[in-house]
Amino acid sequence: MAGSSLTESSGAPVGVLALQGDFREHIAVLKSLGADAVGVRRPAELAAVSGLIIPGGESSVMDKLSRLFDLAEPLKKAIADGLPTWGTCAGLIMLADTILDGIEGQQSLGGLDIAVRRNAFGSQLDSFETELAIPVLGETAVHAVFIRAPIVETTSSTVTTLAALSDGRVVAVEQDNLLGTSFHPEMTGDTRFHEYFLEKVAGR
């Protein structure tokens, strides 16, 4: 199991940024896989983890809270130093180098050489579910839940596309130590993306 190999290889917990959003759901999935998972709200907690998930929520609020809690700069440094980090939905926005339609003053942590568009599918009423082919996770399609989801508008040559919608719009990417998904794997009971992330953490 991916969680077991993580525990054996590092001994350090996996963190989930717990400023806002659905961090509890990610922690529950990680623990179900045997990983030691903790919420991260302070720089000292960030320094103690072997990987980090930035959950879905409200990206502009996460941005403000990360700066209020003096976490923004430590997060940027940890990402730049190679900490395995996965952003889902709002977390993807936080990891993007460019936000095309952020609110005034909104900042991202950066790291992923992509441009994203917030709420690309409209309001929460325009949320939807679909099946995605994600070869790195196996032949079986992934059931993906999109809630006020961002879209990846552009990627550089250093970014690998892991999944796209039938119309070609990119919804999952990978670049070195970073993963980003527009959708919410923590909501479906399919743990393959979490296992894939734990393998990245264990392989660091």
Residues marked as catalytic: 89, 184, 186
Between CA 95 and CA 201 the distance in angstroms is 17
CB 30 within 8 A of CB 65: no
- Whole-angstrom distance between the N-terminal and C-terminal Cα of the chain? 17
CB 112 within 8 A of CB 97: yes
Whole-Å CA distances, 182 to 4, 74, 76, 124: 27, 24, 20, 14
Q: If you ran DSSP here, which 8-state letter would residue 191 be given?
A: -
Identity of the residue numbered 111: G
**What is the length of the chain?**
204
Phi first, then psi: what are they for 68, rounded to 5°? -65, -35
Whole-Å CA distances, 67 to 7, 73, 90: 31, 8, 16
CB 129 within 8 A of CB 182: no
